[in-house]
Amino acid sequence: MSFDLKRVLKVMLFASNGPLSVKDIQTAISRFHEQAMGLPLQGEDAPAAEVPTDGSVSVPSEIIDPGEALPALVEDDEYYRDVPSLITTAQIREAVEVISLELQATESEIVLVEGHHGWRLVTHPRFARWVRLLRNEPPPVRLSATALETMAVIAYRQPVTRAEIEHIRGVSAEAGLSKLLERDLVYVVGRADQPGRPLQYGTTESFLEFVGIKSLDELPSSDVLSPRQIDAWLQTSNAPQGASDAEMGLDETEQSQLSLEKADAPTAPTP
């Protein structure tokens, strides 16, 4: 049996203590070849057993009985043959995709998800209650509408200050911001170069996992929360202008007609 990347990845995913990245997999392959090149030579170059002065032969502890080691060695060798020296990112992603599709096809209780730092095997959400019972954890608390709105503003505008959040939403952001900080969805990025040096907030890696994306670039486009649109809105809100008839829903044609009739009307003679 030659090297099977898909089976190797399954084992690595199962044994990994955290997300498994492309770099982690390629590093493991490199270590395999480094160790293979550094194995001690056998046969004539193998170290001879030491002969004590009393005439008895002492076998070093690191040398194992060949009769016991050979069957296991031959069996394991089948999984370490024809290992390529380099496995590309495309090959890894293709194998991972196959694993994910196989799990989905069998409606497995385990699913493969890709996060910011790599892939992980996780339990299916429909079995989440059993996991909580095993760990004796309380059910998850849903975010309020206030917290969700605050989180959306931070995600699209970061780094952003509390005053900017409140200006955009029109209400206080203290409660929503405190909840997001408590759940590690946002964090303090630094201080703004403004009077008073207010704190600036940004999203965390837990936020990426919460919304199911690998990076902020995967956020859906939003004309409402884009920097250009909000900057324009803030400028107009700070310097409001009168609304036109069209913006108020009035018929501009009727207003123009009335203006023309008034202009054509004869003026009364001056006494």
CATH number of residue 199's parent domain: 1.10.10.10
Q: Are residues 21 and 118 in the same domain?
A: yes
Q: Are residues 175 and 92 in the same domain?
A: no
Last residue of a domain, one of 140, 174, 192: 140
Q: Are residues 107 and 25 in the same domain?
A: yes
**Structural domain boundaries, residue 159:** 145-238
Last residue of a domain, one of 90, 106, 140: 140
Q: Are residues 168 and 226 in the same domain?
A: yes
Q: Are residues 231 and 167 in the same domain?
A: yes
Report the sign of the C-alpha dihedral through residues 49, 53, 57, 63, in that order.
Answer: negative
Asked if 50 contacts 148 with a C-beta cutoff of 8 angstroms, the reply is no
**Is 197 part of a structural domain of the chain?**
yes
Per-residue pLDDT of the chain (271 residues; tens, 9 = 90+): 578 899 999 999 999 988 999 999 999 999 999 888 875 544 444 454 454 555 544 444 444 444 444 344 444 577 788 899 889 999 999 999 999 999 999 999 999 988 888 899 999 989 999 999 999 988 877 888 889 889 999 998 889 999 999 988 888 888 889 999 999 999 999 998 888 899 999 999 889 888 878 888 888 876 655 555 555 555 554 555 555 555 445 555 555 555 555 555 555 555 5
**Is 229 part of a structural domain of the chain?**
yes
Q: Are residues 10 and 94 in the same domain?
A: yes
Q: Are residues 159 and 203 in the same domain?
A: yes
**Is 96 part of a structural domain of the chain?**
yes
**Is 269 part of a structural domain of the chain?**
no
Q: Are residues 135 and 174 in the same domain?
A: no
Q: What's the pLDDT score for residue 230?
A: 56
Last residue of a domain, one of 89, 116, 140: 140
Tell me phi and psi for residue 221, to 5 degrees. -65, 145
**Is 249 part of a structural domain of the chain?**
no
**Is 68 part of a structural domain of the chain?**
no
Number of domains in the chain: 2
Q: What's the pLDDT score for residue 226?
A: 57
Q: Are residues 95 and 220 in the same domain?
A: no
Q: Are residues 121 and 182 in the same domain?
A: no
